[in-house]
C-alpha cells in the first residue's frame, strides 16, 4: 500500500501539499463554533468601544481592565481562537487567552499598524459550557474587527507509525534487535575514533525555575541513556532515574527551544529505558510528556509553535521535533499521540518542501551547527517510524557538509562568522558530518569528518549516525577550492587547503535565499530573522588572521556592520532591525569563475536598498588573484547626487600610509589602496556593535571593538571604487601598485599580477604581465605571472557562472 502511494506521490504523504498549496491543511478538519464582528463583540466586552476605522467597524480597547468573554458549549478536543486585530505599537500589541479562569502561557500578538489574523490554541477535556476570554497583556489601544472559535480534528491518511514499531521498545533511532550489533561495534577501532560510552551521570538534575529557561540540562541525557543500553550498570541507571524523577516535576517548558531540549532527553530516555524504569515513574513520565505534547500541539494548531509558519526558521524545527519526540515516546499508550505524530509529520514535510534546493543554508554557520541536528533527527524518525521516505528532503540536505566546510578558515579551526554567528565559531559537530556521510554513502564527507574529528565523544548520535564500514576519501583532493551556491547566493574560495591559504567569502542574496524569499512573498510567511542586511558583503582571511572582518551575531543588524556600500549613510532593507523579516530585495551573484588560486565573483546588490535611497546601480566585482591580492571594483549610480560610502571592517590596528591604509593583525597585514574615485574622505574609527539583547549579552570576550575604514565620496550621481587589498607580512615591503586602463577598462597592476574590469560592453585590449596584448570581451580578467608560469582567468560577459 505504501509503495503504491509513493509511486504516485506529488505531495506530502501526511500534509497533502506541495509548493503550490503550501498553506492548505487537508489533514485538518474544523468545526466552526462562532464568529463575531465588532458590534457583536461589544456586547461581550468590558473596557472597549466600537469605532469606524478605514471603512470597517472595530472594537478598540480603551481600558487596561479590558476583557472579552464568550460562553459556549464545547466538546472535548483541540480548539483555536482566532482574532483579526491590529496594534498601534509594541507596547499595546498582545492579549492573554484565558480558558475557564486559567491563563495560557503563550500571548496572542496582532500585527503592528495593520490588520491580520492571529490565534491561540487550547484543549477542552470535558464536554459542557466553558468560558473563553481575552484580556490585555499590555496597554490598551489595539483594535479588533473579528473573533472566531473553531474545534479541530485530524484526519491522517495513513497511520503515522508502523504497527510493529508501535508495539516495540525501543523504537526511536534503533530497536531491541539492533542492540547486540551496537554492543559488538564498540570493540571496533573505527567506532572508537568517534564514540565512547559515557560513564555514570554525576551531575545532579536542576530543579524547575519559574520564569527561567528550563530544559537545556536534559538535552545530554540520550548520551547517558544509550551508554546504559550498551554497557548496563546499576550506577548509570540510578543516576538516570534521578534525572527522570526531576523531569516529572517540570510543569511547563514552553513550546519552543526549551521544549525540544527537554523532550530530546526525556522522551528518548523514556523510550530507550522503558522496560527498566519503575512502573510508577514510567506513568508519571508519560503524564508529564503528554502535558508538554498537548501544549506544543495546541500552540502549533494556532500557528504559534516555533514562530508560526516560519518553515525555514530553526525555532520552527525545534518545536516540531519536540512534538514528534513526545508523540513517538507515548504512541500506543495515549490515543492523542496518533494526532500529535501525524501533525508532526505534516509540519516536517513543509520544512523540507521549502528548504533551499542547492545544499546550502541561510542562517549562517553557527545556526547550521545548532539547527541541522533537528532536521537530521526528523528525517530519521519520519522514515523509521512511518516506513516512508521523507519527500523532498534529500534535494536540500545532500551537500550540506561541504557547504559548512567552506565556511572554515585555513587551518580548519575557525569559521567565518556570516549572518548570526558568534565571532570565533569553530568546527562543525562531527555527528552532523557522520549523518550525511552515512545517508548518502559519501566517502568525501566521511573524509571531512575524519579530518576534523578530535577525541571520541559520548554523544549518542556519534554512534547512531556513524557508518564505520564506509571508507573515507581524501577530502582535500575532492572538495573544490571555490564553490558558488545559487539559491543562497554565496560564494566561497580559498587559494589552497594549506594552513597558510587565503580565504574569501562573498554574499549577495535575498533574505532567506531565492526559493524561500519567493515563498515568503507569495504566502506572507516569515523566518529570515537571523539574516543580515549585508548584500555585497565580503570577508578575507589570510596569513592566519581575519583581515576583512564580519562582526557576526548582533541584535541590531546593520548594513554598516558589513563590508559593503552605504547610500547617504543609509543601508539596505532590514537595516537596524533585530530580526529582519522577508524583504522585497532580490540581490544576486551575477558571475563566478574559479581556476586554481584565482577566483572572480560579480554581484548586483542594488535591489537590496530601499527605493527612497535612489540607488540605480551597484555592481560589485571581487577578484582574488592568488594568496596575496584581492581587488574590489564597485560601479555605482543614483537618481541624484548622493554620498557613497565604501566600508571595510577589521580587528587589527589601522595606520595611514602613502596612498592608503595598512591594517595589521598579528603578523599579517592588509594594505588598502583606493585608486578610484579621487577625493574620497577616509575615516578610520572603532565601534562596538549592538551585541546586547534584553535577555542575552553576546559581546565577544576578545576583539569586541571593531575597526572600520570608511571611504566616502562627495555627493555625486555616479562613482566607481577600485580598491586593491594587498595581503602581506609585518615588515614586508608593498609591491608596486600601478593603475591601468583606458576608456574600455579600468584596472591595476600589482607586481606581476594584472586585474582588469570592463567599463562597458565590447572588447578591451590588455597588456599582460609578460608583455603580450590580449583582446577580450570578458567582464573581468586576472592575469598572473608567477614562478615563470602564466595564467589568465576571465569572467565572461553576460553573467554566466563557470567553474
pLDDT digits 0-9 by tens, 333-351: 999 999 999 999 999 999 9
Question: In Å, how far are 59, 282, 350, 647 from 682, measured between CA atoms?
Answer: 55, 68, 49, 10
pLDDT digits 0-9 by tens, 36-92: 999 999 999 999 999 998 889 999 999 999 999 999 999 998 899 999 999 998 777
pLDDT digits 0-9 by tens, 509-542: 999 999 999 999 999 899 999 999 999 999 999 9
pLDDT digits 0-9 by tens, 672-701: 999 999 999 999 999 999 999 888 899 999
Its sign, for the CA torsion 786, 789, 790, 792, is negative
Its sign, for the CA torsion 497, 499, 502, 508, is positive
Q: Are strands 95-99 and 102-103 parallel, antiparallel or unpaired?
A: antiparallel
User: Residue 306's pLDDT is what?
Assistant: 65
According to DSSP, the residues that pair with 195 across neighbouring strands are: 457
Q: Angle, to 10 degrees, between the axis of helix 279-301 and the axis of helix 314-330? A: 140
On the question of pLDDT at 800 being above 70, the answer is no
**φ, ψ for residue 647, nearest 5 deg:** -115, 140
The angle at the Cα of 619, spanning 614 to 620, to the nearest 5 degrees, equals: 130
pLDDT digits 0-9 by tens, 155-195: 999 999 999 999 999 999 999 999 999 999 999 999 999 99
Residues 6+ apart with CB under 8 A from 600: 591, 592, 593, 594, 621, 622, 623, 624, 780, 782, 793, 795
The answer to whether residues 327 and 364 touch, using CB atoms and an 8 Å cutoff, is no
According to DSSP, the residues that pair with 648 across neighbouring strands are: 709
User: Residue 802's pLDDT is what?
Assistant: 41
Share of the chain above pLDDT 70, in %: 98
Question: CA-to-CA distance for 244 and 237, rounded, in angstroms?
Answer: 10
Return the H-helix or E-strand segment holding 240. helix 234-247
What integer is the mean pLDDT of 94-123?
88
Share of the chain above pLDDT 90, in %: 90
Which residue is listed with cell 551496537?
182
Question: CA-to-CA distance for 584 and 564, rounded, in angstroms?
Answer: 19
pLDDT digits 0-9 by tens, 566-587: 999 999 999 999 999 999 999 9
Its sign, for the CA torsion 276, 278, 284, 287, is positive
On the question of pLDDT at 6 being above 50, the answer is no
Q: Among 719, 472, 731, which Cα is nearest to 617's?
A: 719
**φ, ψ for residue 404, nearest 5 deg:** -65, -35
What pTM does this model have?
A: 0.92
The domains of the chain, with CATH numbers, are: 28-154 (2.60.120.260), 178-478 (1.50.10.100), 482-727 (2.70.98.70)
According to DSSP, the residues that pair with 415 across neighbouring strands are: 408
Amino acid at each position: 500500500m505504501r509503495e503504491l502511494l509513493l509511486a504516485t506521490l506529488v505531495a506530502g504523504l501526511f500534509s497533502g501539499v506541495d509548493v503550490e498549496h503550501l498553506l492548505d491543511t487537508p489533514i485538518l478538519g474544523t468545526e466552526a463554533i462562532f464568529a463575531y464582528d465588532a458590534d457583536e463583540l461589544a456586547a461581550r466586552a468590558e473596557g472597549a468601544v466600537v469605532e469606524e476605522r478605514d471603512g470597517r467597524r472595530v472594537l478598540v480597547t480603551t481600558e487596561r481592565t479590558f476583557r472579552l468573554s464568550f460562553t459556549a458549549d464545547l466538546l472535548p478536543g483541540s480548539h483555536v481562537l482566532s482574532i483579526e486585530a491590529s496594534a498601534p505599537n509594541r507596547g499595546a500589541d498582545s492579549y492573554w487567552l484565558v480558558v475557564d479562569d486559567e491563563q495560557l502561557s503563550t500571548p496572542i500578538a496582532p500585527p503592528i499598524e495593520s490588520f491580520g489574523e492571529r490565534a491561540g490554541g487550547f484543549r477542552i477535556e470535558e464536554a459542557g459550557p466553558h468560558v473563553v476570554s481575552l484580556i490585555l497583556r499590555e496597554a490598551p489601544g489595539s483594535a479588533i474587527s473579528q473573533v472566531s472559535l473553531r474545534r479541530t480534528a485530524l484526519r491522517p491518511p495513513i497511520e503515522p507509525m508502523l504497527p510493529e514499531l508501535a508495539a516495540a521498545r525501543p523504537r526511536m533511532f534503533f530497536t531491541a534487535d539492533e542492540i547486540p550489533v551496537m554492543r559488538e561495534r564498540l570493540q571496533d577501532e573505527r567506532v572508537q575514533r568517534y564514540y565512547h560510552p559515557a560513564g555514570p551521570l554525576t551531575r545532579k538534575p536542576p530543579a524547575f525555575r519559574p520564569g527561567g529557561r528550563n530544559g537545556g540540562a536534559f538535552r545530554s541525557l540520550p548520551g547517558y541513556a544509550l551508554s546504559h543500553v550498551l554497557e548496563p550498570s546499576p550506577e548509570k541507571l540510578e543516576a538516570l532515574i534521578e534525572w527522570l524523577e526531576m523531569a516529572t516535576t517540570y510543569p511547563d517548558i514552553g513550546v519552543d527551544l526549551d521544549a525540544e531540549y527537554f523532550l530530546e532527553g526525556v522522551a528518548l530516555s523514556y523510550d530507550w529505558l522503558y522496560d527498566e524504569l519503575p512502573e510508577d515513574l514510567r506513568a508519571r513520565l508519560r503524564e508529564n510528556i503528554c502535558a508538554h505534547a498537548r501544549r506544543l500541539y495546541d500552540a502549533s494548531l494556532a500557528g504559534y509553535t516555533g514562530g508560526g509558519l516560519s518553515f525555514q526558521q530553526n525555532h520552527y524545527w525545534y518545536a516540531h521535533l519536540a512534538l514528534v519526540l513526545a508523540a513517538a515516546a507515548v504512541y500506543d499508550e495515549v490515543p492523542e499521540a496518533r494526532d500529535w505524530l501525524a501533525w508532526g509529520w505534516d509540519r516536517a514535510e513543509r520544512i523540507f518542501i521549502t528548504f533551499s534546493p542547492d545544499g546550502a543554508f541561510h542562517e549562517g554557520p553557527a545556526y547550521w551547527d545548532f539547527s541541522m541536528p533537528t532536521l537530521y533527527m526528523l528525517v530519521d524518525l519520519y522514515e523509521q517510524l512511518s516506513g516512508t521516505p521523507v519527500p523532498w528532503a534529500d534535494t536540500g540536505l545532500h551537500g550540506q557538509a561541504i557547504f559548512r566546510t567552506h565556511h572554515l578558515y585555513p587551518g580548519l579551526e575557525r569559521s567565518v562568522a556570516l549572518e548570526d554567528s558568534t565571532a570565533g565559531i569553530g568546527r562543525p559537530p562531527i555527528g552532523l558530518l557522520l549523518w550525511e556521510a552515512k545517508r548518502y554513502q559519501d566517502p568525501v564527507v566521511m573524509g571531512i569528518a575524519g579530518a576534523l574529528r578530535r577525541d571520541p565523544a559520548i554523544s549518542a548520535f556519534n554512534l547512531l549516525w556513524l557508518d564505520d564500514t564506509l571508507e573515507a576519501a581524501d577530502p582535500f583532493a575532492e572538495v573544490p577550492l571555490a564553490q558558488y551556491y545559487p539559491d543562497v547566493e554565496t560564494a566561497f574560495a580559498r587559494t589552497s587547503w594549506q594552513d597558510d591559504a587565503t580565504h574569501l567569502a562573498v554574499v549577495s542574496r535575498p533574505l532567506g535565499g531565492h526559493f524561500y524569499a519567493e515563498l515568503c512573498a507569495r504566502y506572507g510567511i516569515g523566518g529570515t530573522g537571523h539574516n543580515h542586511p549585508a548584500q555585497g558583503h565580503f570577508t578575507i582571511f589570510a596569513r592566519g588572521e581575519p583581515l576583512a572582518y564580519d562582526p557576526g551575531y548582533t541584535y541590531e543588524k546593520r548594513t554598516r556592520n558589513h563590508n559593503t556600500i552605504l547610500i547617504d549613510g543609509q543601508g539596505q532593507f532590514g537595516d537596524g532591525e533585530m530580526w529582519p523579516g522577508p524583504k522585497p530585495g532580490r540581490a544576486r551573484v551575477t558571475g563566478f569563475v574559479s581556476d586554481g588560486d584565482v577566483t572572480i565573483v560579480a554581484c548586483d546588490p542594488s535591489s537590496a536598498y530601499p527605493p527612497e535611497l535612489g540607488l540605480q546601480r551597484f555592481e560589485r566585482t571581487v577578484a582574488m588573484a592568488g594568496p596575496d591580492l584581492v581587488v574590489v571594483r564597485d560601479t555605482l549610480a543614483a537618481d541624484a547626487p548622493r554620498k557613497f560610502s565604501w566600508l571595510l571592517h577589521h580587528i587589527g590596528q589601522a595606520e595611514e600610509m602613502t596612498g592608503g591604509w595598512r591594517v595589521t593583525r598579528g603578523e599579517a597585514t592588509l594594505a588598502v589602496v583606493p585608486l578610484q574615485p579621487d577625493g574620497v574622505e577616509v575615516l578610520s574609527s572603532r565601534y562596538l556593535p549592538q551585541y546586547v539583547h534584553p535577555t542575552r549579552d553576546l559581546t565577544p570576550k576578545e576583539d569586541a571593538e571593531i575597526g572600520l575604514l570608511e571611504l566616502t565620496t562627495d555627493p555625486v550621481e555616479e562613482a566607481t571604487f577600485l580598491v586593491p587589498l594587498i595581503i602581506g607580512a609585518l615588515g614586508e615591503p608593498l609591491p608596486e601598485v600601478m593603475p591601468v586602463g583606458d576608456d574600455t577598462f579600468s584596472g591595476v597592476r600589482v607586481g606581476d599580477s594584472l586585474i582588469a574590469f570592463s567599463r562597458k560592453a565590447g572588447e578591451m585590449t590588455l597588456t599582460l604581465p609578460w608583455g603580450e596584448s590580449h583582446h577580450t570581451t570578458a567582464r573581468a580578467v586576472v592575469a598572473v605571472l608567477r614562478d615563470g608560469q602564466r595564467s589568465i582567468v576571465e569572467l565572461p560577459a553576460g553573467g554566466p557562472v563557470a567553474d
